[in-house]
Amino acid sequence: MSKTYFDETHCAIGHPKSTFMQWMLTVDHKRIGIMYAAVMFTFFFVAVFTALAMRIELFSPGGQIMDGDTFNQAFTLHGVIMIFLFIIPGIPAIFGNIVMPLMIGAKDVSFPRLNWATFWLYILGCIIALSSLFIGEGVADTGWTFYAPYSMNTDTNVIMALVAAFVLGFASILTGLNFLVTIHRLRAPGMTFFKMPLFVWGIYATAWIQLLATPVVGITLILAILEKYFGIGIFDPAKGGDPVLFQHLFWIYSHPAVYLMILPAFGIMSEIIPTFSRKEIFGYRTIALSSASIAGIGYLVWGHHLYTSGMSDTAKTVFSFLTFFVAIPTGVKFYDWIATMYQGKIVLSTPMIWALGTIITFAIGGITGITITMIGLDIHLQDTYYTVAHFHYAILGGVVFLMFAGMHYWFPLITGKLYNETQAKIAFYLQFVGFNLLWFPMFIAGYYGMPRRYFDYLPEFQIYHQISFFGAIIFITGLIYMFVVFYKGWTKGEASTPNPWNATTLEWHLPTSPPPLENHSKVPYVDFEPYEYKNGEPVVKFDYETMRRID
């Protein structure tokens, strides 16, 4: 068998002999992607652990295992890690790196060394974030939103968290920049924008958000740091500063950031649905353009987080009106996916059931997002568990679930092995049931007036929190089991062929599995649509030596 990217690599500096240094210095997009995955997944478990600790604490009213301040630090740590370390960089950094260049037939991204440097910048950010745990008064207790003036007043180590978020933001900007240039420059000859796979569209739209929204939060965090050290006054009411301005600046980034999370996830969905329906996707162009319009409109709706902040009523109306228009392109995507299944041949493999499960959970997440963008209702539901349930349905039930779908889908490509289907499905059902049990009761608690970030609560809410706790246990069991299945697959699984799913896009047209160092043996010429099926078989076939079409 020929050599794969596990056997050899290019390095940023020199030609190190040791395998370890080869990984540390690698500029190969696939290896960098895997390293991101490894790191993110480690942090991820830190955040899961804090989440579990919170759920135990909330099992019944009164203090259980921690005091109020620790709880405040716990949800901040949970939020910061989940958002800044895990889910925002998540799909772009992992799958964007690993499969996006393969999908467009490129040898690597446009700036491989920048990619390498970005990875280490990301690590630096993570280190700063984690070291705030041990330095000074401990990790910040502001919530992941860092609202002024609380973040200016608290004694905890907010500065470290802000610096970390800034550094991570920079890593995110550079990733986006790299991908934008890659997509513009390195598409295989013949591949026009409307011949790109939809995942690439998702990454493209995302990259624009990373590039143009992240600097705003970057400078906001810098201003907050300057405020704290030099008293420039802009968030300090004692000097005439307005705390609401901070919220504007923060959400100008952080709302687009939620689309930054979901758009590449939708991209994964758009890959999986046609592949396992053995049918060309319905409405390719509308899906592609809806990604772009979600990104575009997404810039203009941040104010729906400020409905009760004291913002002017006119602005509330405007933001509410605009926000509804995000739901339209999202809905169009959903209907297009369902229409793709019509008259297809639906293979319920693990990636497909993850995708279909996500259609259910994200629809709930999205629709409850619509609830809270009706201003009158948000006045009641803002900062309650209704909101918390909304975004866990959207993030966990949308982005993370689709990330798992992607992990199952591209697992054979990345590792060259197959996992056990039955076991993987069991893991799915555990997580799906656990997830709904975990978060659905929170909608009810929120509607009855359970505020978020509460360490203690009124006894009426106990029942919801307890159901939720058991849901969390089931969920995390399924989660761990899923990783066990992956681990077993990677170490002991059957070898996979280059195209185990009968998929059509270019990343499945590689000479070996896992792919060799510089991807396709030659760059293909692309004169076909991304999802061409005929009678359930991919239309396009390549001779993997010369990469010429042989169908």
Partner 1 sequence: MSHEYVPEIATDREGNEYEVQGWQGDFYAGKLGFWLFMLTEVMMFGAMFLALAYYNTLHPQDFLDASASLNRVLGGTNTVILLISALTMGLGFLKMRTGDVKGAKLMIWATILLAIIFLVIKGFEWRAEYNHGIFLLHDQLLPESSLPFGQKLFFGLYFTMTGLHGVHIIIGIGLMLWLLQRINADKVTPEHHIFHLNIALYWDIVHLIWVFVFPYYYMIGAGGATGGH
Partner 2 sequence: MDTKTINYQEERKVYYKVLVALLILTAITFIQPHLFMTGSTFLAQMLIAVVKAYLIVMYYMHLKGEKLIIPMVWFAMSLVTVFFIIVIGIDVANFQFGAESHITAAAEHSAGAVHTTPASTHH
Partner 3 sequence: MSNTLEGFNAGASTLSADVDFAFWLHIWLSLGLFLSVVGPMFYFAWKYRADKVKNEDIGTVTHHTGLEITWTVIPVIIMMVFFYYGNTTMQMFRTMPAESQSIVVNVEGSKWKWKYEYPANASGHVHKIGGVYDRDKKTMGLAALYVPVNTNIILKMTAPVDDVIHSYYVPAFRMKEDVVPGRTTQQWFNSSKVGQFDVECAEYCGTDHSYMYSKIVVMEKADYEKWFESTSGDTPKGDFAKDGKSLLRQHGCKSCHAIDTDKVLVGPSLKTRRLTKEQVLDVIENGQDKLGYAMGAMPADMAKGADAEEIATYVASGMKGTKPASFAACSSCHGEDGKGMNGMSPSLISYDKTLISNVFKHGKQGLIGTMPKYLDISDEEVAAIVKYLNKTND
11 by DSSP, 3-state: which? strand
Core vs surface per residue 200-221: b (16+ CB within 10 A) or e: bbbbbbbbbbbbebbebbbebb
Question: What H or E segment, with its residue span, contains residue 317?
Answer: helix 313-341
Which residue has the closest beta carbon to ligand HEA? 366
Stretch that binds ligand HEA, among 8-16, 350-358, 474-482, 530-538 (CB under 6 A): 474-482
Q: Cβ(397)–Cβ(439) under 8 Å? A: yes
In the region spanning residues 158 to 217, those forming contacts with partner 3, defined by CB under 8 A, are none
Q: DSSP letter string over 378-398?
A: HHHHTTBHHHHHHHHHHIIII
Total residues binding partner 3 (CB under 8 A)? 92
323 binds ligand HEA (CB under 6 A): yes
Q: What are phi and psi of 372, to 5 degrees?
A: -85, 0
Residue 304: CB minimum distance to partner 2, A: 12
Sign of the Cα torsion 210, 216, 217, 222 reads positive
Residue 412: CB minimum distance to partner 3, A: 19
In the region spanning residues 300 to 339, those forming contacts with partner 2, defined by CB under 8 A, are 300, 303, 310-315, 318
Total residues binding partner 1 (CB under 8 A)? 62
Token couple for 321: 């009106």
16 binds partner 3 (CB under 8 A): no
The widest CA-to-CA distance across the chain, in whole angstroms, is 73
Say how far apart CA 122 and CA 108 lie, in whole Å.
20
> What binding mask, one character per residue, do residues 367-386 give for partner 3 by CB under 8 A, x or -?
x--xx-xxxxxxxx-xxx--
Pick the binder of partner 3 from 24, 124, 130, 244 (CB under 8 A).
244
Beta carbon nearer to partner 1, 79 or 524: 524
Task: Judge residue 395's burial from the number of C-beta atoms within 10 Å of its C-beta, 0-12 exposed, 13-18 middle, 19 or more buried.
Answer: buried
Which alpha helices (DSSP H) does 231-312 contain, by range?
A: 243-277, 284-298
Pick the binder of partner 2 from 54, 106, 158, 252 (CB under 8 A).
252
Token couple for 528: 């076909």
In the region spanning residues 335 to 364, those forming contacts with partner 3, defined by CB under 8 A, are 335, 338-339, 341-348, 356, 359-360, 363-364
Pick one of Cu ion, partner 1, partner 2, none as the site partner of residue 407 (Cβ within 5 to 8 A by kind). Answer: none
Q: Give bridge partners of residue 538 from the DSSP assignment.
A: 533
Q: Which residues contact 332 (CB under 8 A, 6 or more apart)?
A: 283, 286, 287, 290
From residue 456, alpha-carbon distances to 295, 384, 440, 473 in Å are: 38, 14, 20, 21
Pick the binder of ligand HEA from 325, 334, 447, 525 (CB under 6 A).
334
Pick the binder of ligand HEA from 48, 148, 171, 224 (CB under 6 A).
48
In the region spanning residues 41 to 100, those forming contacts with partner 3, defined by CB under 8 A, are 68-69, 72
Token couple for 531: 């999802």
The total of other beta-carbon atoms located within 10 Å of residue 546's CB is 11
Token pair 């649509």 is at which residue?
Answer: 529
Pick the binder of Cu ion from 10, 31, 78, 255 (CB under 5 A).
255
> What binding mask, one character per residue, do residues 474-513 give for partner 1 by CB under 8 A, x or -?
----------------------------------------
Residue 248: CB minimum distance to partner 2, A: 6
From residue 128, alpha-carbon distances to 9, 125, 168, 281, 484 in Å are: 29, 5, 10, 44, 30
Core vs surface per residue 11-41: b (16+ CB within 10 A) or e: beeeeeeeeeebbbbbbbbbbbbbbbbebbe
The total of other beta-carbon atoms located within 10 Å of residue 298's CB is 24
> What binding mask, one character per residue, do residues 80-119 give for ligand HEA by CB under 6 A, x or -?
--xx--xx--------------------------------
Stretch that binds ligand HEA, among 18-26, 179-187, 271-279, 392-400 (CB under 6 A): 392-400
Closest CA to 521 of 541, 539, 542, 494: 542
Sign of the Cα torsion 399, 401, 405, 408 reads positive
Pick one of partner 2, partner 3, ligand HEA, none as the site partner of residue 347 (Cβ within 5 to 8 A by kind). Answer: partner 3
In the region spanning residues 405 to 424, those forming contacts with partner 2, defined by CB under 8 A, are none
233 binds partner 1 (CB under 8 A): yes
Say how far apart CA 501 and CA 492 lie, in whole Å.
20
Pick the binder of partner 1 from 133, 212, 332, 426 (CB under 8 A).
212
The binding site for Cu ion (CB under 5 A) comprises 255
Rule CB under 6 A: which residues touch ligand HEA? 37, 40-41, 44, 48, 51, 54-55, 75-76, 78-79, 82-83, 86-87, 143-145, 258, 261-262, 304-305, 323, 326-327, 330-331, 334, 363, 366-367, 369-370, 372-373, 378, 382-383, 387-388, 390-392, 394-396, 398-400, 407, 452-454, 472, 475-476, 479
Residues that bind partner 2 (CB under 8 A): 184, 212, 237, 240-242, 248, 252, 299-300, 303, 310-315, 318
